[in-house]
Structure 1
Amino acid sequence: MASTWLRLKEFYDWALQNGDERTDPWFLVYSPAPVTTVFFMYLFVVWFGPKLMENRKAFDLKAVLITYNFSLVGLSSYMFYEFLVTSLLANYSYLCQPVDYSSSSKLGIRMAKVCWWFYISKVVELLDTVFFILRKKNNQITFLHVYHHCTMIFNWWAAVKYVAGGQSFFIGMLNSFVHVVMYLYYGLAAMGPQMQKYLWWKRYLTILQMVQFFGIAAHTFYNLFSDCDYPDGFNLVVCLYIVSLILLFSNFYYRSYVRHNRKEE
């Protein structure tokens, strides 16, 4: 047992010390301890929050939600712009792009910074669940919702810690674009019932999310089996993760739109 703990400690120390020297000093990057703490705090809120609100009146968060959602539209727009423009200026390959770890590369640092912002945005987006709880919209807190939020913070901690750039940019760029559309929808919905007639495209938002996942899957599978100087371990994790999201979102789409429409016929 002692030798097992020693090996685990040695691996942990190795993992800490072999990260990207450019990003290690940045907030919430060097150690997994802070993001793990955030993870457990989030799970506690998911478990305890509905119990706390059970006998309380739902909060009216209209102004907060409008500000929050449109702020994320702005942040997502900024990140999409940075991913796209930086990749074009640096002449990134959309098929195979190694990570530029050079501290002297301005474009490499710029790409690493937007990867960090993307990671931080995933931490901020945990507030989605908090707002559901405060508004007593517990039906929105599904396994898919919690799974997606929990896994994204760890996935992007690892991305910023070890591969801030390279192939990672493609995932961040696609997801930032989708989140511009998604939080625009949420922001408009938060403005009140008078906006419902303009929100007929909710189904197509889910389709856009799924198209994104298939695009990421194709991109990552290609790199997993091609000769690309990018860690295969990360490509494999992304492949397995994106398959899980495709399955979960496909099930959500079926239950929300296909089966629901059949019941109405």
Structure 2
Amino acid sequence: MTSAYCHRTSCSLVKILCDCTAFLVWRVQDPKLLSWDTAITMEGIVTMYQDFMKKADPRIADYPLMQSPFLVMGILLGYVYFVLSLGPRLMANRKPLNLKKFMVLYNFFLVGLSLYIVYEFLMAGWLTGYTWRCDPVDFSQDPKALRMVSVAWLFVFSKFIELTDTVIFVLRKKNEQVTFLHLFHHSVLPWSWWWGAKFGPGGMGSFHAMINSMVHVVMYFYYGLSAAGPAFQKYLWWKKHITAIQLAQFVIVSVHISQYYFMPNCQYQFPIFIHLIWIYGTIFFILFSNFWYQSYTKGKRLPRVAQQAAQHNGSSIHENGTVTNGKVKAN
């Protein structure tokens, strides 16, 4: 009946699917043949993977986490499982942990690390020879090229350190802060940048990593002050401007990477990275724009200074961000 339907239809896609289905049914009828074909297929997949990984940059092969993508995949899957399932269940009958001192040290450590990463990106190429237009990856043993490899790896490693952000949310039972945007951002970026550093550490594809590190200097400085206690709350009026800086980041990165499409002859070796960076920039701009609208236009995530001002005006703001007895506008 399947074969008859395939001959009647004029849709080539349907015919292909039908033929594939008939082929699989035929294979299943002979278990020995299926087992042999499966072994050949798996062997072919392994061979293809090994051949593909031979094209990776050998200069970064001995850096931690860079030997195999499966270790990285395991870490990220474990991270997602912990923050969505295991962590909340472990904390269900426990009091939130008091991590204030740790959070201050952690956030200011990331400020220093992000500053160092920005400096290294600048010294490895962006202020010492890059044109800020079509900049290919330098695969030589030149000291600047090796310096770029090191900072590309350090950026990747910093993304795994930043997974601690979400772990802190869970341990403090702030599960409402584990949003889709937060989880998507923290899980996708380490994975995609691992491949970028593995195959093309440097060149025009590294621009967005440098800009991202600049933004993180500001972001983690704010978080550090926020964790430092009530004495610093009066300095936190600029919370929504962090989101504005993040939005500007995606615009700058997308404009820079879009140059590739208008250059008659750009020898950057990995066009796929260009496409992914542009797609990421667009997706994250949309997601962060929605975050801005929900948080500040609708007033769901006002800075604490604004919340206190609202309370003095007779409004009451609950911990989950809802407002009663009046409306509060973002600063």
**2:140 aligned with 1:102:** yes
Match of 1:212 among 215, 239, 249: 249
Distance 1:145 1:224 in 2: 30
Alpha-carbon distance, 1:89 to partner: 5.2
Matching residue of 1:70:
108
Structural mapping, 1:111-122, within 5 Å? 111-122=148-159
Matching residue of 2:53:
16
Amino acid at match of 1:8: I
Q: Is the 8 A contact 1:19 1:30 kept in 2?
A: no
Distance 1:160 1:205 in 2: 27
Alpha-carbon distance, 1:239 to partner: 1.3
Distance 1:52 1:224 in 2: 49
Distance 2:132 2:108 in 1: 30
Matching residue of 1:246:
285
Q: Write the deviation string for residues 173-223 of structure 1: whole angstroms up to 9, x where unpaired.
A: 111110000000000000112211100001001000110011111111222
The change in CA–CA distance for 1:257 and 1:73 in structure 2 (over 3 A counts) is: same
Matching residue of 2:239:
202
Matching residue of 1:229:
267
Alpha-carbon distance, 1:15 to partner: 2.4
Alpha-carbon distance, 1:145 to partner: 0.5
Distance 2:239 2:131 in 1: 33
Match of 1:144 among 177, 181, 191: 181
Matching residue of 2:295:
256
Alpha-carbon distance, 1:11 to partner: 2.5
Distance 1:43 1:205 in 2: 25
Amino acid at match of 1:85: M
Alpha-carbon distance, 1:80 to partner: 0.7
Helix, strand or coil at the partner of 1:264: coil
Aligned positions, number: 264
Q: Write the deviation string for residues 82-118 of structure 1: whole angstroms up to 9, x where unpaired.
A: 1112225531110110000012x00000011011100
TM-score (norm 1): 0.95
Q: Is the 8 A contact 1:224 1:232 kept in 2?
A: no
Helix, strand or coil at the partner of 2:58: coil
Matching residue of 2:81:
44
Sequence identity percentage: 42
Q: Write the deviation string for residues 113-141 of structure 1: whole angstroms up to 9, x where unpaired.
A: 01110000001000000011111111110
Greater mean alpha carbon deviation, residues 68-77 or residues 187-196: 187-196
Distance 2:44 2:294 in 1: 46
Larger gyration radius, structure 1 or structure 2: 2
Distance 1:41 1:89 in 2: 38
Match of 1:134 among 152, 166, 171: 171
Matching residue of 1:61:
99
Alpha-carbon distance, 1:7 to partner: 3.9
Alpha-carbon distance, 1:225 to partner: 4.2
Q: Is the 8 A contact 1:16 1:31 kept in 2?
A: no
Q: Is the 8 A contact 1:174 1:212 kept in 2?
A: yes
Helix, strand or coil at the partner of 1:114: helix
Distance 1:24 1:164 in 2: 12
RMSD: 1.7
Alpha-carbon distance, 1:171 to partner: 1.1
Distance 2:127 2:254 in 1: 25
Q: Which has the higher contact order (CA 8 A, sep 6+)?
A: 1
Distance 2:248 2:127 in 1: 26
Distance 1:26 1:256 in 2: 40
Q: Is the 8 A contact 1:30 1:161 kept in 2?
A: no
Q: Write the deviation string for residues 224-247 of structure 1: whole angstroms up to 9, x where unpaired.
A: 442321211111111112211111
The change in CA–CA distance for 1:4 and 1:249 in structure 2 (over 3 A counts) is: farther
Distance 1:221 1:161 in 2: 23
